[in-house]
Amino acid sequence: MWRHANAVARSASFSAWESPRPHPRRLLICKISNLPDPTLPQTDISPAVRILDLSEGLTPYVKGWKLQRRLLESRLDFKRRSRDGTAAGLSEPPDFLLLMQHDHVYTLGRGADENHIKFPCDLSLLARGGRAPHPDAPPVLAPNGAEVRRVDRGGEVTYHGPGQLVAYPLLDLCRRDQKDLRRYLTNVEEVVIRTLARYGVEGLRDDANTGVWARGAKIAAVGVGAARWVTTHGLAVNVSPNMNFFDGSNITPCGLDGKRVTSLRAELSAAGREDECPCLQELGAVLVEEFVDVFGAEVVRAKNEEEIYTNCAA
């Protein structure tokens, strides 16, 4: 999947969610000349990003999925019109950062192994190689009440639910002159690492797997997707979720046997500072600040969902 990342991003789509970190030699296969160096500081001011924070309440996963698809299609439609000369008079859609907190849901990437689902359910409904994942497809229900869905991203099974902050950046990397998915993935991880540092928790990368780790346990899932260099999916930080949903009797989180999952509350509690655990809205505000710093972006806050939908092409 990673070997074809840059080529696929130019022509179709690319996704990764908790995929093994790409081997450097494999990345050379898809190297494009004049790619920006991910180790260099970013000094350019990128176009403004519109922020929509829905994390105070619970957003059904399907609703967030549909919103991403709609915003992505609006951007891709503008790109098509620009290429064929029919974009005159149209405004270029802005970039977005969507902050959400989902209802209980397990999601599997397009090629995820359904056998990483450990509770009893009809796995035939989740089998790989079937119909293309679509938000209108009926979910499978887990014994604990969570929905189980195969979705249009890469990577293995993961969990989203209350107490977890999910952020979906929809950025046009062409517009930002940053056509480098490796650099983008590193930047997304950096946003999480800096956010955790604000609370005295050391977040680290893992040489073999994407995401952010604390004391050897995964504290944040990081996954990116791209279609014609427009990103989707994003990151999920475990703030104070019910950790039982990650239990090995339910799933093998991210397909990683023997790896622990942790949360910001658990890490602060281990340091005797549980009362310092922020609410999701507070953490979201800090994450936006770090996002601005890492991506060199200006941000404009959207008032409501309706304002976001007005930026979608008809």
Residues labelled catalytic: 254
Given CA atoms 138, 141, 146, 152 in this order, what sign does their dihedral have? negative
Q: What angle do CA 227, 232, 237 make, to 5 degrees?
A: 155
Dist. CA 94–CA 98, nearest whole Å:
13
CA 175 to chain centre: 20
Based on the number of CB atoms within 10 Å of its own CB, is 115 exposed (0-12), middle (13-18) or buried (19 or more)?
exposed
Q: How many Cβ atoms are within 10 Å of 135's Cβ, its own excluded?
A: 18
Tokens 């977005």 -> residue = 96
Spell out the residues 6+ positions from residue 308 whose beta carbon is closer than 8 angstroms to its own: 50, 52, 67, 71, 96, 302
Token pair belonging to 187: 């930047």
Tokens 């009893």 -> residue = 120
Nearest to 312 by CA among 15, 91, 4, 59: 91
Dist. CA 16–CA 155, nearest whole Å:
5
Distances (CA, A) of 120 to 115, 279, 291: 11, 34, 40
